[in-house]
Structure formats: C-alpha cells, structure tokens
Amino acid sequence: MPTTVSAPVPDDGLVVVVKQDCPTCQLVAPVLGDLDATVYSQDDPTFPDGVAVVDDTGLDASLALGIDVVPTLLRRRGGAETDRAEGWDRARWRELSGVAGLGAELTDWKPGCGSRTHDPAVAEELLVRTRGHELHARRVELAGLEDEAEALYDRGWTDGLPVVAPTPARVLRMLAGTSRAPDEVVATVPPNLVPATVEKVAINAVLAGCRPEYLPVVLAAVEAACAEEFNAHGLLATTWGAAPAVLVHGPIACRIGVNTGGNALGQGTRANSTIGRALQLVIRNVGGGRPGEVDRATLGQPGKVGLCFAEDEQRSPWEPLSVSRGVPAGASAVTVFAAEGAHGVVDQISRTPESLARSLARGLRGVGHPKLAPGFDAVLVVVPEHTAVFAEAGWDRARLHAELDELLLLAPEEIARGADGIDEGMPAPRHRPLGPRPKFRPGGLMIAVAGGGAGKFSAVLGGWVGGPGGSTPVTRVIEEDP
C-alpha cells in the first residue's frame, strides 16, 4: 500500500508531480518506483500505487514549483531548479533521471495534461489564497438569496446600469494589469477628497467591466481628473451637463483596442465603453459625486456614464495632439477634458480648407450659446475625410487653429444682450468700447482626429467654463510596465 507523507519541496533531488485524472500520468505510474524521486499528487494522495506520495491536493507544492503540465519531472539542486521535462518523453526522462532503461516498455512520447493549478474551478480560489493578503478594501458579504446585480444597485455602487461584482479574485486579476502597489494612493478624489488607492481604482474598473490591460489608462485618467486645474468638484457641482471625458494617445490605444475609427464616440467597443465608465465610477463611489447630491446637472447627457475614445494617430497627417501638449513622441498618455454630448457638423461639399474651416467655425460658435464669448471650452473631432481637405492644402493643426481663431472673433454688436431679439448675450462694457471677442480662451479649443474613413461628419464636443474658476484639460503620461 502507498504511504502518504507531508514534506516541503526538497532542495535537492528529483521531483515528479502527477494527478490521477491524467492519462499520461497513468502511463508513467509504473516507472515512478524506479526513480529516487519525491512524488507529489495533485488530486489523489493514493495515486500512484506502490510509491510514497506527498499529498498536494492543496496545490502548495505545485504553485511553488510553477507546474503547468502533469506529469512533470524536474531536478533541484541547492534549492533551485536545474532542469525539467513536461509530459512523457522517454529520452528526456532518462537523461534527466540518469536511469538508462527507464520506461522501456512505454511508448516513446505522450503529451501531458494541464496542471490542476490552471483548472478554472480552482484558479480563483488559488489566486485569492496566494495573493488575497494584498487586498485591504472592506469586504461586503452578500446573502445567499441576494441577486448580485440587484444587491450592488441597492447599495448605490452603480451608475444605473448593471455592473460586474468586484470579487477578490476579479480585483486581483485586474491588479495584474499594473506593477503599482495596491495600496499606493493614485489621487485624492473630489468632491469628498477621499484618497483613492490603486486597489480602489481596480475595484471600480471591475465594476465598469474593464480588462486588466485597461487599468494603466484608468489610473492615468483618475490622476488627470483629480488634478487641481481640472476642477472635478466644480464640474460636478455645476448645473451644466458636461462631465469628464478621456482621450487616449499613443501606442497603448491600438494595443488594448481603444476605438478611434467608425463609431469612436459611440457604443460597441469594450475599451471605450468601460474606461470612461470606470473613471466616472471612481468619482461616484470613492469621491461621492452622485447625481442629486453634489452632481447638480440640470439635464446631464449620456456621456456622464462615460466617454472615452482615441486619437487616430496613424491616419492623422498632423503630429499627435499629445505631442503638442508636451508628451514625448511615442509615449502613451490620456487627456481628460470636460465634455457634453457630441454635436455633429455636416459638410459634404467643401473641397477647400477655407470653406471647410468656415463650416467648422459655425458649428463651434454654438458651444454654450452663439452669443457667449469667451466662455466654454470645446474639442473639435475632425474625421479623416475632412482632415484630408486640410492636409492636401498643406494645412497643419496650427494653421487650422489660427484660421478658426480668426473666424471665431465675434463682433460686439452680434453678441450684445438683446441683439437679434435674444436677451442672452454679452453685457455692454462699462468703461470702453467692446472689441471683437474670441469665442474660446487661449488653449480652450483642442483639435483631435478620429472617426470612420467614410462620412464628412465631424463633431464638436462642447465643454464647460475654461480657465480659472472653470476646468482646464489635463494630460498625463500613462505608466506602463517595461
């Protein structure tokens, strides 16, 4: 009969790891007695018969040895592994063990099976068991009869849509997306000025439905949104409907699948839909920015659930917007800006940059109100077919900015209160005549390239009051692991 013992992983000698539920392990079982080896069994301490077996049903030894396949034969020397063979390979097992006639009666080769450490039924349990000590957030236990989705909604942790339950295993998998320590403070989140750790951000990224590779983008977005100059508290408290939006720059956008093409501002892409949502959930769940409380928007708009898209640097003829904002070329970054819902600008006829610029200027003039200047910031999203008109004429982004600035100098008589029978407008000056007023403050208009390859429909994302007392767009480089 076999003897079941318990022992640490040996510093020296041969080690074999098997499981009973593996045909290849069943194949090699008869030759294990010919080896001077420590044998671990992952699922049945009585297998294999006739040899001393170390019970590894808890999988501690398999985790310590990094077992991916069973059977695995390995040699250790001085506490370190020096060689291993996975599956059954007669020549390799003979070489590694030094037993010349080993397995003569067996087939030459047979692949092994997946280690039980990779069994989906136990992987989450192992993850929590080995890394659960990294988590410090309060645990909330749900009753057995509670519906997960309803329970999370009832506790106020959602934006009105269903969320993914942030179980310890899911949070740990999310944290694998960054090397930053879970207890590192990312930012102090308004309006309640609560410190948000990497773990807290990861929890909300799980709630939002993010993948782990999105986490570095979410972390950078949280940092940007919580910068003093962005003024997230003011943006929340205003009755205007703008909200933080995330523009992703650099190679990470392509790598994690942030959509910059067709429907870039719409639904259908997981990265776009969840990254912006994660930022909003951090503001809600960590900072306390909830509608009807500090969030005082009169109407709001769908982008308050979350808005994220990427700058199309591959198809853009201009230098990346991030570079013009001081980010080194080739680096990944985010720009967080205040945005309301997109307003389309149709121009399917203009073939000269002068004509097209005038169309875009007309669309921009309506931001906030056509008679308020300067006032709210804006982002102009130029689609590739429109961008091509400027590129073919040799206009770069700076040239387009200059043209728009000139076209958006508004005559005082047009924007005065009462002009055109509209009481809204700019008040009359007290001490000197009012000259032409720029629609946007310096730096208050950003131009980004995005959208599908077909369709001459650019868009304006109106913002909120820019500059002191309002919100300034903030760009942050994304911390990526080497």
Outline where 299-383 has alpha helix (H).
321-324, 353-365
Burial of 278 (0-12, 13-18, 19+ CB in 10 A): buried
- Give the angle 38-42-44 at the CA atoms, nearest 5°: 95
Residue 125 lies in a domain: no
Q: Are residues 106 and 155 in the same domain?
A: no
Q: How confident is the model at residue 375 (pLDDT cuts 50, 70, 90)?
A: confident
Q: Are residues 373 and 226 in the same domain?
A: yes
Domain range for 96? 4-118
Per-residue pLDDT tens for 402-418?
999 999 999 999 999 99
For 263, left (φ over 0), alpha (ψ -120 to 50), or beta?
left
Q: Are residues 364 and 448 in the same domain?
A: yes
pLDDT at position 6: 47
Domain count for the chain = 2
DSSP string, 251-303: HHHHHHT---STTTTSSS-HHHHHHHHHHHHHHHHTT---BTTTB--SS--GG
Q: Are residues 178 and 43 in the same domain?
A: no
Q: Which amino acid is at 349?
A: I
Give yes or no for residue 7 having a pLDDT over 60. no
Provide the token pair at 48.
């294999």
User: Packing angle between helix 384-392 and helix 353-365, nearest 10 degrees?
Assistant: 130
Residue 34 lies in a domain: yes
Q: Which amino acid is at 313?
A: E
Give the CA dihedral 105, 109, 111, 116, nearest 10 degrees: 40
Residue 163 lies in a domain: yes
pLDDT at position 204: 98
pLDDT at position 460: 98
Residue spans of beta strands (DSSP E) within 366-473 = 376-382, 409-410, 437-438, 445-449, 457-465
Residue 132 lies in a domain: no
Per-residue pLDDT tens for 84-133?
999 999 999 999 999 999 999 999 999 999 999 999 889 889 999 888 88
* Domain termination residue (choose one: 118, 135, 162): 118
pLDDT at position 1: 36
Q: Which residues pair with 75 in a beta bridge?
A: 14, 83
Neighbours of 468 (CB within 10 A): 9
Residue 387 lies in a domain: yes
Residue 346: in which H helix or E strand, if any? strand 342-346
Q: Are residues 210 and 281 in contact, defined by beta-carbon separation less than 8 angstroms?
A: no
Residue 128 lies in a domain: no
pLDDT at position 224: 98
Residue 24: in which H helix or E strand, if any? helix 23-28
- Give the angle 70-75-81 at the CA atoms, nearest 5°: 95
Q: Strand pairing of 80-86 and 53-55?
A: unpaired
Q: Are residues 297 and 340 in the same domain?
A: yes
Average pLDDT, the chain: 94
Provide the token pair at 300.
């709001």
Q: Are residues 178 and 46 in the same domain?
A: no
Give yes or no for residue 81 having a pLDDT over 50. yes
- Give the angle 40-42-48 at the CA atoms, nearest 5°: 60
Give yes or no for residue 78 having a pLDDT over 70. yes
Residue 129 lies in a domain: no
Neighbours of 422 (CB within 10 A): 13
For 162, left (φ over 0), alpha (ψ -120 to 50), or beta?
beta
Give the CA dihedral 335, 339, 341, 344, nearest 10 degrees: -70
Per-residue pLDDT tens for 133-189?
899 999 999 888 899 999 999 999 999 999 999 999 999 999 999 999 999 999 999
Q: Are residues 215 and 347 in the same domain?
A: yes
Residues in contact with 301: Cβ distance below 8 Å, sequence separation at least 6, in sequence order: 241, 242, 243, 340, 341
Integer CA distances (angstroms), 184 to 276, 372, 381, in order: 22, 43, 35
Q: Are residues 295 and 248 in the same domain?
A: yes
Q: Please report, in angstroms and rounded to a whole number, the separation of the first and last CA atoms in the chain.
A: 52
Residue 20 lies in a domain: yes
* Domain termination residue (choose one: 97, 118, 139): 118
d(CA 40, CA 31): 15
* Domain termination residue (choose one: 73, 102, 118): 118
Give yes or no for residue 268 having a pLDDT over 90. yes
pLDDT at position 429: 76
pLDDT at position 445: 98
Q: Are residues 276 and 391 in the same domain?
A: yes
d(CA 274, CA 206): 9
Residue 100 belongs to a domain with what CATH number?
3.40.30.10
Q: Are residues 66 and 209 in the same domain?
A: no
Cut 0.85: pTM above it: yes
Per-residue pLDDT tens for 301-320?
999 999 999 999 999 999 99
Q: Are residues 198 and 110 in the same domain?
A: no
pLDDT at position 470: 94
Q: How confident is the model at residue 5 (pLDDT cuts 50, 70, 90)?
A: very low
Give yes or no for residue 367 having a pLDDT over 70. yes
Q: Are residues 250 and 390 in the same domain?
A: yes
Per-residue pLDDT tens for 309-350?
999 999 999 999 999 999 999 999 999 999 999 999 999 999
